[in-house]
Every structure is written in C-alpha cells, then in structure tokens.
Chains A and B, each alone.
Chain A
Amino acid sequence: MSKKNHKHRVVAVCLGPSCRKKGGQALFDNLKVEIQRAHLSESVEVVETGCRGLCARGPVAHVYPDNITYCRLTPNDATRIVQGHLVSGHPMEDKVSHADRIANRSFRLFGDARFFGKQLRLTLRNCGVIDPENIDEYLAVRGYEALAKSLTGMKPEEVIQAMRDSGLRGRGGGGFPTGVKWNFAATQKADTKYIICNADEGDPGAFMDRSAIEGDPHTILEGMAIGGYAIGAHQGYIYIRAEYPLAVKRLEIALEQARAHNLIGKDILGSGFDFDIEVRLGAGAFVCGEETALIHSIEGERGTPRPRPPYPSVEGLWGKPTVINNVETWANVPVIILDGPEWFASIGTADSKGTKVFAVAGKVRNTGLVEVPMGMTLREIVYDVAGGVEGGRSLKAIQTGGPSGGCIPAQYLDTPVDYESLKGIGSIMGSGGLIVMDETTCMVDVAKYFLEFTMNESCGKCTPCREGTKRMYEILERITSGRGEEHDIELLEELGETVKFASLCGLGQTAPNPILSTIRHFRDEYVAHTRQKRCPAGVCTQLITYEINDACIGCGACARKCPVKCISGETRKLHTIDQSKCIKCGECFAACRFDAVTRS
C-alpha cells in the first residue's frame, strides 16, 4: 500500500439535491482545498455527479479507479479522504458503502493496492468493510437480497440447479460439489431436515472462518437460510469453536437482528418459509470438524466419527437428512444467487470454480488472509500477494491443508491452486491453511509437529489412527533425536499406508500425508537424519554438532559461556569441544565473534 499507486484518480462527489443539502457542497469545496494542500492537484481530480440513488445515505462520493463509494460523509471527512485514502492508501473503511452497483456485482473489487491487487474478494467481500454488528450495513450491500430472490422468485430445485451450475465445491477440505450434496438431501423423503454450518476450523494456523464470521456474520446466515429453503430444512445449526468468543458474539447479534427483521424465523419475508438457526459451541476437539463427529457433538456425544454411508445428507443430525457445509462455502451462496452461477463459474479453473481464502502464515512478509481466484499459482500467492519470504531467505516448501495436507517443495511453486493440482503433488487444498517455510525449517521436524497434532487429536476410536499415529510419532522422534535407522523410513512408509487406507475417518486417512509427502519430496533429509545423524536445517537440537575451526583465535569467549564446561584449549590456541559432554545449547556459537564455531 504505497504511494506509487497514485496514478490518475477521480473523486466524484454527488451533488444531487439531497446530498447537496446534507453538506455535499461543503464537502466538495473542502476536498478541493485538501487536495491542493496535499499537492495532489496533478494526479487527482474532483468532479461533481448527479444523484446516484443513494440519497438515504448521502452525502456520497466515489473514488475511481478504486471503485470505492463513501457514504454518510460530512464536510470534515475531506481531510480523511485525502490524507488517509489518497495519500496513505487506507480507505476510510467506516464510511465505505457497498450498495454501489457500478460493477453490477454484489461485492466490490478492492483497489489496486498491492496486497489486494491480485485478490478477488468474494466470500470476504464485506469483511472489514461493513459493521458486522449492524444489519443495516449488510442490507445496504444487497444483504439478504439473495434470500429474498430465492424465496420469491425461485423454486427450491432452481436454487439447487444454480448451485450445481456454479460449480461450487465445498471449502471445508473435501471439495465435494455443493449442489450435488444439496440435491441428495433435497430428494430424501423426511419430515425433518437440517442445515449445519461447520465453523469448527480446527486446522492449526488457519483462521479464515473466524475472520469471515467476525467480519460478515449475516452472509453465513443468509447462505444457510437459502440452503434450508433449497432442501426443505427449517432448522440450522452453526457449530463453532469455543475458542472464538467474538465470532460467537457476532453471530448471536446477527441472529437477533435477522430475527427482528423477519429474515430468520417464522414466515420469512411473508414467504411462508420458516427457518431458524442455533449456535452450538465446540469444546476443543479437532476431529469434530469431521462431519459425522460434528453431528455426534451437536447431539451431545463424544465427537467420534462413524462409518459412512449413510452420509449426513441421507442420515445426519438425529438421523435426519442434513446438509453440512463449511463457513466459506455458505458465504459463496448469496453471491451465486445474486450474480448468477454462470458468472461465478467464469472465475477459477475448469474443475475449481470461484475463489479460495487462504490463511497465509509462517515465514512470509505479509501474514494474513488472502482471497484469490482458483488457479492462481502458489508463487503468485507467496510473492505477489504475501510479499515473499521474510528476511529475504529462500523458500523451501509450502504446507497446505494443515495436518491433513502435505509439504510442497519450491520446485512446484508454479502449481495452480485448485483441488486436483494440489492433490497431484501430494498435498491438498484443505480448508485454506498455507504455511510458508524457509531454509531454516527441518522437514522431518515439520512432519513430527503435524504427527504430534494428529496423535493428540485422534479420537481414538479406530485402531490404525489411534495406535498408528502414536507409533509414527515415536519413529519420528527417534529419527529427530538421532536414534533412527534408515529402515525407519520404510517403516514410516508402510505404517503410513496402513493408517491412510484403513482409518475410519479423514483425520486418520490423511494423518500420514505430512510424513509421506516429506519423504517423497525431501527423502534426503530423512536419510541425513538417519544415516549421518545430521539435521541439515540445524533444527533438531540433538543432532546438531558444534565444532571449532581454524578461525579460532583462542580468546576463550566460548569456553567461558559453555554451561557444562566442555570447551578446552589454551589461550591464543585453537579450542576444542568435547562432543561427549556437549549439550548442544549453542552458547558457544553465539559467543564467538570470529565465526570459528560452526553448527552442523
């Protein structure tokens, strides 16, 4: 977000009768003054426009080419628009309006600031833009219009058809076509059906769903209500982690407001359709993101999965047909209804339509949420969107899909992100966690980290996952502490296959992925750990050796720091480390000012 983005800009101030009366003229005048004062007269032009139909929220101004509309402006806002937006590149979020139909879309394309430049914000369209605790703001950005359109102008079958035509696939990890899933549930004969929003978001390092809910809770409610209408359900549940108190609060507020506006509840908008939603809190179990486990959890049971079939769309919550979708999936629904499935399907790749939100974390400059069209390459995400690797180091691998995913080495950076391509290189799209790792990361350690996670989160119901993750973790621990044998790599592969193929649910079935993918792409690191008892990245402390080379001038700084006194040597002579006593604390390494202590 830098100044170099100022090309030619236009601030169009509405001076229609209503806006003018409410202070539009003063605003217009102030803007001119401020722009001059900021020496922007060359690059920014202030123009006057006629009524834009937003009189209720005037005075209104629009900034081109950022495509940002401000509303409820006061004459004093001129300074903020100029200094904040035009000079510093921070739009005045609190006054941005999204009822703008210039692009004829329900959402806004962000300006060309670099971080947003390659993004396409569909599901996050309102996040950070509207006040999530104020339904009026959501309504102003065509909120609940999709619901109204569905209820009044579309048959349930048509809604489902629209979902099928859009090509939307589940964003919770599996990538199952949403329209097909809805259709299963819709065609079941049952007196009761349910809708569930899966907001368990257990993947450590991912926070897409949290942000989506905190920033735009109504979209989720609207999507769910449309889903309910499509399949014939009258009750929905949002299953959300207890660790997200703010998201829970915003959902509760949104629900209350939506009920008050008759957008949720009985006889919605006079259509005769009833739909209500209840929020249920999780209690700290990653596996409860798995749909059957989640259902057990809502039912008040231990959150263990069960074999499928029957699938939830046939026998779900309390045995009734249930559609369960991810938060992001639900957030796409109103967009598809409003802007049409064809338009939605024009974004993305042949088999992966629309956008995907990623939580970019790890060793990158800009960590945070990004939403990009499907098919963008990993390279673009990391370098163009997230600003590249932190500290100028080189990228070693990208981990997607969290504990269920795999590590993608740098040579695959040009892989487009879509469901099939990522699967093809041993990872998965997953729910959107994207961790960037640089050369200081040990891939065996990463595998161990994820295995520790899955081992702790295994529900324990089925043998391969309960016992197998523990054994794989033990083997990795052996390897990272220098007690591993080369044969252990084969054991990991064999056990990995067993756990992958024989486990009951997705947790176990994917638990070996971090191991199998790192063995596949970084086998040499495993070999280094087992054969040479060496950690190339210098992460596995027990495998590090500190040695003193010829650069040593014999100052003794290292020996003084060594907590176990295992460095010896006469003053001004080469010092040596007694490897049998060294505890690998690294104090000597830090102490030497002559780069004579080496770590390997």
Chain B
Amino acid sequence: MSEKKNGQVNLIIDGVRVTVPEGTTIMHAAEVVGVKVPRLCYHPYLSTPGACRVCVVEVEGAPGLVASCAFPVAEGMNVRTTSPKLRQIRRNIVELQLDNHPEDCQTCERDGNCELQRLAYQLGVRERKFAGEKKNYKSDYKAPGVIRDPNKCILCGRCVRVCGEVQGIHTLTVAHRGFESVVVPTFERSLADSVCSNCGQCINVCPTAAFLENMNYDEVWQKLSDPHVTKVAQFAPSVRAAIGEAFGIPPGANMEGQTVAALRRLGFDYVFDTQFTADLTIMEEANELVNRIKAHGTSDLGPGKPLPMLTSCSSAWMKFVEQFYPEYIPNISSCKSPMSMQGALIKSYWAEKMGLGAQDIYSIAAMCCTAKKYEAAREELRDENGLPYVDAVITTRELAWMIKSMGLDFANLEPEEFDNPLGESTGAGAIFGATGGVMEAAVRTAHQMLTGEEMPDVNIEAVRGVTGAIKEASVEIAGITINVAVTHGMGNAIKLLEAVRRGEKNVHFIEIMGCPGGCIGGGGQPYAGQDAVPMDRELMAKRASALYGIDKAKEHRCSHQNEHIQKLYDDYLEKPGSHRAHKLLHTHYRQHFPHGVIPGRGIDGNQESCIRPSDPRFLELEAFINERKGRPHEDSELIPVLHKAQNLFGYIAEEAVEYIATKMQIPRSKIYGVATFYHYFSLSPRGQFRVSVCMGTACYVKGAGDLAEEFKRILGIDFGGITADSVFSLECARCIGACGQAPVLMVNDEVHTRVTVPQVQKIVDQYQEQIGKSGSRESETAAR
C-alpha cells in the first residue's frame, strides 16, 4: 500500500486499485471504478439513513456487511461489491420488500417506471419464498394535488426527508415502529388537512407509487368526447422542456410544437400557451412592484411591509405562506399565477370574443406541477358564479400517459403552432419555468416601465442556475438600486424569509418557487429515467437550457413587447392594474390552518392565537415547557415533555401535541413520529386501571403468557385494548426488573408478584370493587 497523502485514500474495490478523497463513501468510490452498487434509500441531496440495506458490500475484516452508501473509505480497505453471498442477501432484501407490497404491478401507475420493480428485475428476484402478512392501510385520496397509498410504501424514507430537509414543511413522518412503521402526516390525517403544500416532491423522489398526483385524466378523456363544449388547453413552459423524457427523448429537448399537435390530436379545439399569461403576469407584477416602490420608496422592508414584494406564481409556495408565514401575506404580489390568468381570460375575454359562455368551455391546463390542481380548486380563484376558471389540471406525466394511451408517435409528430390571441409569447414568458426566470423577466419589464427604455442587455446571469440556493443581484434602474433575491425549494425560502425578518437582507423583490429548480423540477414532471436520480440538478439544468434556448431564439424577449399583450390591454384590460385587470388577474391570500411550524423560528402572535386552551392542565404543561426554554438543545426536551403530557392527561392527546408543537416549535409530524415510536406513550385514552402483564423472559418462562390469556378472556380485550366502560386497559410490559418474583404484573403503579392464573379473577375483582367504593371518582385523577 502506498502512503496516504493530502487527504487521499487508497483502497481496492473488486480487485481494482483506486484513490479517492478522504470521506468518500464506498458507494461513490465504487462508481469511480465503474460499479454502480444497487441502492434504494440513498439520495444524493438528502441525508443518508443507510436504511434499505440493498447497497451492502463486503469489507475485508469487518464482521458483517456494510452499507456502501454510508460507509466511508479507509486506507488499505479491500472491498467486494459482489459475491454469491452478497447477491443472495441483496435479492433476499428486495424480496422482503416485495413480500410486503401489493402484487399489482400491471395496474400500477408506475409500472415500467418503478425503482422497486427495476431493482427486483436487476437483482433477479424470481420467487417469493418468505411471503406472509402484508400491510393494509387506508389510502388517502382527499387532497386535490397529492394522494398517498401507504401499502405501496417500502419505507425508504425519501419522502419524509425531502419534505423535511428540502422543503422544510415536515408534513410527513415515519410513525410507529417495526413492521407497523408507516409514513403518514400527523395523526394519520389526510394530506388535505395537513400543512402539505401539494408540491409533489414526495412523488418525485418516491421509488414506488406510494405517492401520486390526484389524477384527473379520466375526467378529461370523458369531456373530450363531449360534443357540447369547446375544449381548450393550455400548458406551462416546463411541460415542453420535459415531456420528451417520458418518451425516451434525451432531456433538454423543447417539445413545444409536438405538444401543441398532440393536444389537438387528443381532441382539444384550441391550444393556448401559459407563456402568454406569463408575459401578462410580468406586466401586472412589474407594475405592482413599480407602484410599491413609487408609493413607499425602497427602505420600508420586512414582513407585513410594502417591500420586499414576493412573487405569487408558485401555488405550493402560496399555500406554504398562508400556513407558515401569514405575516408575509401583505408582501405577496396580488397577481394570479399565469395558469389562473390564462384560465380567467379564456372564460372572459376569449369567450366573449368567440361568443361563448363560460359554461360552454371546458378549459384544462397541463402543468409541471401537482399544486396547480390545488390552485385550480381554490375558492378565491373562481368566477363570480363560484365556478372554476380552470376545469381540470393534469400533470406532465398525465399528459404523457394520455398521449401514450392514444398511441401517438409523439417524437415524430409534426410540430404545430398555438392558437391566438392567447398563444403568443416572448422569451420572458418561457424562462418562467426555471428558477430565476420570473425575476429576470420582471426586471426586463420593470426597467422599461421605470425608464421608458429597453434594457441594453436583457440577460441577468446572476439569477440563473439551479445550483445556487439563494441567488442575489442588484439592478440600477432610473437611479434606484433594486436588490433582488431568488430562491427555490421551500426550505431555502425559509432561510431567506428568516433572514429578511431578522433584517439581515436588504432586498426589495423576491422570487420564490416552491420546487427545487423551479417549475422544471415540479412535482408533476416525468419520473427520472433508468439510471437517473430524481431532482438531479444536471437534469434540471438541461430542462432549464431548453427554456433559455427558447428565450434566446425569440425576437421579443421582454413581456411588454408581446404584441398580443399590448392588444389585450388596448382592447380589454386598458392598462396594468386597471379595475378589470384586478378583477380577472389578481387575487388575495389569507391565513390557512393548521399553522405551520418552523423549527427554531420562535413562537409568534399568529400561533399564540391558535391555541388558548382553558384547561388548567395546559398551564401546567406550559410551565413545564417554559422551565426548559433557553436550555441548550431545547428540542431534546421533547421526550420529557411528552412524559409530562401523559402524566397530565393520561395519554398523549391530539390537543396536547398541537400545544407542544406550537410552544416548542417542533413540527407536529415529528412529535407524532416520536410519540408513536415509544411504547410508553399512549395515543389513545387508557383505562382507569392499566393492567400491564410482564412478558419478559423470566416471567414468560414462569407462565406470564397464561396470565395474559386469562386477562384477555376475563376483560374481553386484547393487548392495547380498553374495556367498554374504560375501567381496564391491558398492556404488555417488558421486564420491570422484578424477575426474581416472576411472573409479575402491574396495575397502574402497583406490582403484583408470583401471580397464578386463578388469582387473575381476584385481581380484577379487587380493582372493580375499588370503583364501587369510590363511586364516581373522576377517571382523570385515577389515570394519573
């Protein structure tokens, strides 16, 4: 072995010598020698749990196998990534996954696109030796954007990590433990009733179909054969930049013309471009920015202040603000998203032009986004009759399915043009789809609005690119310095908004896109292909390059130069910010519940107002929490606090979780995940007398099992159950350290030792009698 020097490590992988930087994992080192170790839970942008164990390898001298994704290389290490034993073990692991997974590949939305399926095939799983009981959970189809089917989940944890680590939302947690582990929102409620933003990143990273968009294409098919309505479609910039991937076309191809053609072949009478209303959004938004600056100057900054102004076109981000940052609602531009503007124009301006009523039009949007489904359903975005402007939203994936199911040769379709007047766009409209695009487009037009002159160079490179988390730039317009910031992914948004709140960032205009990379990385985009990684930044960059390519090729690159936009204002809207523009193109936002929790942010008035319980036990809980405030690692007090809550309430009540979440600023999902992990905590009320039979080894060999059976028989309940009159509940305890007197059981805190089966009835009677005596003793005090 050669000497280890300047942070380089030498090792052998499958007999090949390789030198890699210190700290590299075996998995990455293996890639250097051309081996892609099979993997499942690993994702390069997320933390590494080392959980699935598919990536195990042999390291000479190590007692077991090691997870290559998590194990760092060491000098002189000798690694084998394949051997008969490894192949068998990997196959067994994947088989174990399959054994607890529905056998419905042929009817599954991800058939052909599923990482589990691919892995099973690749590793040669050809039989099911260990099949047994399978999980059986209810699916959650309630949210308009994202739905869940936990039965398909293989617990890789990527969704939990993306939602927490990347999006900062923490909708999800792994709850319970062992074979009962399941990924759920807090208290296993629907996503619709949670803090979920509908961003769909969980869909993107999930290897299986455990998360999906709430599909609308069936309904669209139905309507397409309805002769009484005029079928109108629009699609987002990013759809054209990515849909090709679903047909095996290399990423980065602009499929605009083919998509228009395909939509017509599907039966749409008119195909309009969301890029047209992207241009319109810029007109309205730039106008709003200019007005805010003119009215208030550029120094009144902060949440609730005129500036910074925040963009409003990302629907996941909007829901996020309403739940997590209500104090920023006044900062948000009142502009609707391009999709909603287009929807409104189709059923007003265009309908009038065509002599159609709103009810005569079926208007759909194909979007890169799952949250757009949520947006389309929003109350605020309906017409005066309460009808939606956009009747259905389908994702890029759904559109691709429709095209495939029709059998169209998508790649070779003759490109077609959009219909007008709502189909013309400038380069500014196209770049909307990539992070930084809205900002760049807005600045181009704001410049013209403030100075009356075109920008000499319209390319603002500083705000482009999918790698930078927070991109900042300053532009001088008419002697005013406008500081802008751009970010993508809600986790980054939190960082930026916190910095603004603390007064650390002197910015005037902020673009926020809910998904990493912007719309091109939306939750509705085609799944990553065979060897690709979901959310891959290189893939995002390629999709973005398709949009910047469109921009570059356009004659007009600024929204205000769009002739149809000019005509729209002349004929119909009058001018940006006009009364009619407001009615059709603007909206408003309001606080939504549950209020989102941002760890470490500190509690604010908005949240304080949500919880004012009168029950004195909450005051005691609060005192307990406050006592721990300011200690180092405050969050670590969660378990002591849960113990306290259980002491106070007898169990971990949902209101208590809500209270703790707010007071301690710990996401509800995390509290739920922790509370359900530990068997000491009960999530449901327990009996006045809690019988726990020790099933520890010493007690078991002395007949504890028979005692348990006797209790079950007498009380008529199973472990975990509670009698109908709430007097007894039965639990199974693990060694309470009284093994010498086995078998042992406890009733509340009273220990009964050397219990025999005939004594069980006596014990039950003894406690039953106590109830008789104390009469109507409050069950709450007894539960203490």
A residues with a Cβ closer than 8 A to B are 201-207, 210-211, 242-245, 280-286, 297-304, 306-307, 309, 318, 359, 361-363, 367-368, 399, 402, 433, 435, 437, 441, 449-450, 453, 455-464, 466-471, 474-475, 491, 494-495, 497-498, 500-504, 509
Determine if B736 and A307 form an interchain contact, defined as CB atoms under 8 angstroms apart.
no
Segment at the A interface, from B176-184, B228-236, B413-421, B590-598: B176-184
Determine if B739 and A361 form an interchain contact, defined as CB atoms under 8 angstroms apart.
yes
Determine if B180 and A471 form an interchain contact, defined as CB atoms under 8 angstroms apart.
no
B401 within 8 A of A: no
Determine if B677 and A285 form an interchain contact, defined as CB atoms under 8 angstroms apart.
yes
B192 within 8 A of A: no
Closest 5 A-B residue pairs measured CB to CB?
A204-B696, A205-B697, A460-B181, A283-B678, A284-B680
Determine if A204 and B53 form an interchain contact, defined as CB atoms under 8 angstroms apart.
no
Determine if A361 and B93 form an interchain contact, defined as CB atoms under 8 angstroms apart.
no
A283-B678, A467-B96 known; A509-B734 Cβ under 8 A: no
Determine if A491 and B698 form an interchain contact, defined as CB atoms under 8 angstroms apart.
no
Determine if A207 and B53 form an interchain contact, defined as CB atoms under 8 angstroms apart.
no
Q: In the docked arrangement, what's the CA distance between A284 and B683, Å?
A: 14
| Min distance, Cβ B49 to any Cβ of chain A, angstroms | 7
Determine if A362 and B701 form an interchain contact, defined as CB atoms under 8 angstroms apart.
yes
Q: In the docked arrangement, what's the CA distance between A460 and B133, Å?
A: 16
Closest to A450 in B: B697
Q: In the docked arrangement, what's the CA distance between A495 and B733, Å?
A: 28
Q: In the docked arrangement, what's the CA distance between A458 and B66, Å?
A: 19
Contacting B51 at CB < 8 Å: which of A359, A435, A504? Answer: A504
Determine if B735 and A204 form an interchain contact, defined as CB atoms under 8 angstroms apart.
yes
Determine if A201 and B51 form an interchain contact, defined as CB atoms under 8 angstroms apart.
no
A367-B739, A433-B697, A441-B701 known; A471-B96 Cβ under 8 A: yes
A210-B737, A302-B673 known; A449-B700 Cβ under 8 A: yes
| Min distance, Cβ A421 to any Cβ of chain B, angstroms | 18
Determine if B64 and A466 form an interchain contact, defined as CB atoms under 8 angstroms apart.
no
A281-B639, A361-B739, A471-B132 known; A303-B677 Cβ under 8 A: yes
Determine if A204 and B681 form an interchain contact, defined as CB atoms under 8 angstroms apart.
no
Contacting A243 at CB < 8 Å: which of B66, B178, B698, B736? Answer: B736
Determine if B698 and A504 form an interchain contact, defined as CB atoms under 8 angstroms apart.
no
Determine if A463 and B96 form an interchain contact, defined as CB atoms under 8 angstroms apart.
yes
A367-B698, A435-B698, A491-B130 known; A281-B678 Cβ under 8 A: no
A359-B739, A461-B49, A491-B130 known; A456-B178 Cβ under 8 A: yes
B155 within 8 A of A: yes
Residues of B within 8 A of A282 (CB): 678, 680
B70 within 8 A of A: yes
| Min distance, Cβ A449 to any Cβ of chain B, angstroms | 6
Q: In the docked arrangement, what's the CA distance between A503 and B637, Å?
A: 30
Determine if B100 and A467 form an interchain contact, defined as CB atoms under 8 angstroms apart.
yes
Q: In the docked arrangement, what's the CA distance between A304 and B64, Å?
A: 19
Contacting A474 at CB < 8 Å: which of B49, B64, B132? Answer: B132
Determine if B695 and A460 form an interchain contact, defined as CB atoms under 8 angstroms apart.
no
A297-B639, A299-B636, A497-B89 known; A460-B174 Cβ under 8 A: yes
Residues of B within 8 A of A285 (CB): 177, 677-679
| Min distance, Cβ B598 to any Cβ of chain A, angstroms | 17
Considering the complex, which residues of chain B in the window 629-682 have a beta carbon less than 8 Å from any beta carbon of chain A? 633, 635-640, 642-643, 666, 670, 673-674, 677-681
Determine if A455 and B643 form an interchain contact, defined as CB atoms under 8 angstroms apart.
no
Q: In the docked arrangement, what's the CA distance between A344 and B51, Å?
A: 41
Q: In the docked arrangement, what's the CA distance between A317 and B157, Å?
A: 23
Residues of B within 8 A of A284 (CB): 678-681, 734
A361-B740, A468-B96 known; A309-B72 Cβ under 8 A: yes
A285-B679, A300-B638, A435-B701 known; A502-B64 Cβ under 8 A: yes
Determine if B737 and A460 form an interchain contact, defined as CB atoms under 8 angstroms apart.
no
Determine if B677 and A302 form an interchain contact, defined as CB atoms under 8 angstroms apart.
yes
Interchain Cβ contacts under 8 Å between A and B, 28 examples: A203-B697, A204-B699, A204-B734, A205-B735, A207-B737, A211-B737, A243-B680, A243-B733, A283-B643, A283-B681, A300-B635, A361-B701, A362-B701, A402-B697, A433-B697, A460-B176, A461-B157, A462-B50, A462-B51, A462-B53, A466-B181, A471-B96, A475-B130, A494-B88, A497-B89, A502-B93, A504-B51, A504-B67
Residues of B within 8 A of A503 (CB): 53, 64
Residues of A within 8 A of B701 (CB): 361-363, 435, 437, 441
Contacting A466 at CB < 8 Å: which of B71, B178, B674, B678? Answer: B178
Residues of B within 8 A of A368 (CB): 740
Closest to B64 in A: A501
Determine if A300 and B698 form an interchain contact, defined as CB atoms under 8 angstroms apart.
no
B92 within 8 A of A: yes
Contacting B65 at CB < 8 Å: which of A458, A468, A502? Answer: A502
Residues of A within 8 A of B66 (CB): 307
Determine if A207 and B92 form an interchain contact, defined as CB atoms under 8 angstroms apart.
no
B742 within 8 A of A: yes
A359-B739, A460-B174, A467-B99 known; A283-B52 Cβ under 8 A: no
Determine if B697 and A463 form an interchain contact, defined as CB atoms under 8 angstroms apart.
no
Contacting B639 at CB < 8 Å: which of A283, A449, A450? Answer: A283
Determine if A242 and B99 form an interchain contact, defined as CB atoms under 8 angstroms apart.
no
**Known A244-B737, A470-B132; 18 more pairs at CB < 8 Å:** A201-B735, A206-B735, A206-B739, A243-B736, A243-B737, A283-B639, A283-B642, A300-B639, A302-B677, A307-B48, A368-B740, A460-B155, A464-B53, A468-B130, A469-B179, A474-B132, A498-B93, A504-B53
Closest to A242 in B: B680
Q: In the docked arrangement, what's the CA distance between A281 and B99, Å?
A: 37
Closest to B47 in A: A306
Q: In the docked arrangement, what's the CA distance between A547 and B54, Å?
A: 51
Considering the complex, which residues of chain B in the window 33-92 have a beta carbon less than 8 Å from any beta carbon of chain A? 48-54, 56, 64-67, 70-72, 85, 88-89, 92
Contacting A464 at CB < 8 Å: which of B93, B176, B673? Answer: B93
Determine if B89 and A502 form an interchain contact, defined as CB atoms under 8 angstroms apart.
yes
Residues of A within 8 A of B699 (CB): 204-205
B5 within 8 A of A: no
B129 within 8 A of A: yes
Contacting B697 at CB < 8 Å: which of A280, A299, A449, A509? Answer: A449
Q: In the docked arrangement, what's the CA distance between A352 and B695, Å?
A: 32
B97 within 8 A of A: yes
B738 within 8 A of A: yes
Residues of B within 8 A of A494 (CB): 88, 92, 129
Residues of B within 8 A of A441 (CB): 701
A367-B740, A460-B180, A470-B133 known; A205-B698 Cβ under 8 A: yes
Determine if B697 and A466 form an interchain contact, defined as CB atoms under 8 angstroms apart.
no
Residues of B within 8 A of A461 (CB): 49, 51, 155, 157, 174, 181
Determine if B737 and A201 form an interchain contact, defined as CB atoms under 8 angstroms apart.
yes
Determine if B742 and A204 form an interchain contact, defined as CB atoms under 8 angstroms apart.
no
Contacting A455 at CB < 8 Å: which of B100, B179, B698? Answer: B179
Closest to B695 in A: A204
Residues of A within 8 A of B673 (CB): 302
Determine if A205 and B696 form an interchain contact, defined as CB atoms under 8 angstroms apart.
yes
Residues of B within 8 A of A449 (CB): 697, 700
